[in-house]
Amino acid sequence: MTISELLTDESKWTTEVYARDAAGRPVSAVDPTACRWCLTGAMIRCYTDPDQADAAEAKLLAAWARWEPRAHEQNPTASTLTGWNDAFGRTFEDVKALVEEAGV
């Protein structure tokens, strides 16, 4: 499964934790009860093989660098994919577009 197949709509996305269950409680990204994931949690869930995870992260970082080449200078708290996912004003549409551009 890819991240774009997992995060098909906003109801499957979250912020501030890697994953949540149906009641909104934080759970592990690989917990069977997880039904909502942040970008990093989705990567953990979808790419359990370390080589696949590294490749997916590299693709996401490359796409993100094209979008926001000076993101760290402008907003140090959003200088990681997790921070970017959780940044104030971030939308599911932003996350979905990045995932689609990265091809993960």
Tens-place pLDDT, residues 4-59: 999 999 999 999 999 999 999 999 999 999 999 999 999 999 999 999 999 998 99
**Directed axis angle between helix 50-67 and helix 92-102, to 10°?**
110
Q: Name the pTM for this structure.
A: 0.87
**Each residue's pLDDT tens digit, 52-67:** 999 998 999 888 887 7
Residues sharing a CB contact under 8 Å with residue 75, sequence separation 6 or more, in sequence order: 83, 87
What's the mean pLDDT in 70-79?
57
Q: Which residue range forms the structural domain that includes residue 80? A: 3-102
Q: What pLDDT shows up at residue 83?
A: 87
Domain total for the chain?
A: 1
* Tokens representing residue 35 in the block: 């039904």
Place of tokens 């994919």: 81
The pLDDT, as a whole number, for residue 77 is 55
pLDDT value, residue 68: 66
